[in-house]
């Protein structure tokens, strides 16, 4: 794992083992708030892992009592100068800043690998934006989720209002957003936001890693295609989704993975699939 983007990190630690990339928020004393380092490092990490094809699945977890308390107030310091500019230019700068932050969480959705998130304690504000952009969510029984922005006098603007209605009943999303109340782990499970609730952090990590291991045992090209088609189908109608699926299969389906899968079954061994191609430029 010789990638400069994964070295000298401040907000995260990264370990890649057995085709699983484990990204961990590592500022528990600061409640893993999303500071400047967070916003700069996360997209670099995701792009590096995806582009170099060094893993088949990503697990995103955290340390300490809470998963994340959301946006660190220091991030807003960059807006002070913009507020002094001419109003139209200030507004344009703010819009561009928000789009950049949105792009950080979009990387979770856009990368070729499934992203599994393991959540303990509080997942607040930007934490909900981030976890909503992942493929699957798991939490401990003491977890809770809060769309905090409304209570603070701002509109949630990094994906919560767009993604949650795709994951949960619309009326419930509206209630959570309008009230900023806590959604506890059991309610998150019953409404489909999380896949499983675990007794504690260690049990959760063992369970999530087991899911990741099972995903990593499959053809990485097949898993990548499945994520691509699921995301496309979510944003398009059934007819469009089916048409795109046919196009994907016509272009990407190859029988080498199918043959390897069948042979591995017959020989009672683990399948040995080719990795997806690296996206790094080769000069």
Percentage of the chain modeled with pLDDT above 70: 95
Domain containing 117: what range? 4-216
- pLDDT of the residue at 86: 84
Q: Is residue 200 part of a domain?
A: yes
Alpha-carbon gap, residue 153 to 150, rounded angstroms: 5
pLDDT higher than 70, residue 143: yes
pLDDT higher than 70, residue 283: no
174 and 224 fall within a common domain: no
Taking the CA atoms of residue 177, residue 182, residue 185 and residue 190 in that order, the dihedral angle to the nearest 10 degrees is -50
CATH code assigned at 231: 1.10.12.10
Q: Is residue 275 part of a domain?
A: no
Q: Is residue 18 part of a domain?
A: yes
58 and 151 fall within a common domain: yes
CATH code assigned at 67: 3.90.226.10
Name the average pLDDT for the chain. Answer: 94
Segment (H or E) for 117: strand 115-119
* 161-198 confidence digits (pLDDT tens): 999 999 999 999 999 999 999 999 999 999 999 999 99
Average pLDDT estimate for 126-152 = 97
User: What pTM was estimated for this model as a whole?
Assistant: 0.94
Residue length of the chain? 283
pLDDT higher than 70, residue 83: no
Alpha-carbon gap, residue 202 to 149, rounded angstroms: 30
Average pLDDT estimate for 225-245 = 96
Q: Is residue 48 part of a domain?
A: yes
Total domains in the chain come to 2
155 and 190 fall within a common domain: yes
* 25-48 confidence digits (pLDDT tens): 999 999 999 999 999 999 999 999
* 49-66 confidence digits (pLDDT tens): 999 999 999 999 999 999
């Amino acid at each position: 794992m010789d990638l400069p983007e994964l070295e000298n990190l401040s907000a995260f630690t990264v370990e890649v083992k057995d085709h699983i990339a484990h990204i961990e928020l590592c500022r528990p004393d600061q409640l893993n708030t999303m500071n400047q380092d967070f916003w700069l490092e996360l997209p670099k990490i995701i792009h590096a892992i995806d582009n170099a094809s060094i893993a088949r699945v990503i697990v995103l977890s955290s340390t300490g009592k809470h998963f994340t308390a959301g946006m660190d107030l220091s991030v807003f310091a960059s807006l002070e100068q913009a507020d002094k500019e001419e109003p139209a230019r200030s507004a344009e700068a703010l819009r561009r800043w928000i789009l950049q932050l949105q792009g950080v969480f979009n990387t979770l959705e856009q990368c070729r690998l499934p992203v599994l998130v393991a959540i303990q304690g509080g997942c607040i504000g930007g934490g909900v934006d981030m976890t909503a952009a992942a493929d699957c969510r798991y939490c401990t029984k003491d977890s809770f989720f809060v769309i905090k922005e409304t209570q603070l006098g701002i509109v949630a603007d990094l994906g919560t209002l767009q993604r949650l209605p795709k994951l949960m009943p619309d009326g419930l999303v509206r209630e959570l957003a309008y009230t900023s109340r806590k959604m506890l782990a059991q309610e998150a499970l019953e409404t489909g936001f999380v896949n499983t609730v675990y007794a504690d952090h260690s049990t959760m990590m063992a369970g999530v890693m087991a899911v990741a291991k099972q995903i990593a045992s499959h053809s990485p090209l097949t898993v990548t295609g499945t994520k691509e088609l699921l995301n496309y189908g979510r944003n398009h109608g059934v007819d469009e989704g089916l048409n795109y699926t046919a196009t994907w299969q016509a272009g990407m389906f190859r029988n080498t993975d199918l043959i390897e899968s069948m042979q591995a079954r017959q020989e009672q061994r683990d399948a040995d699939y080719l990795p997806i191609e690296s996206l790094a430029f080769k000069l």
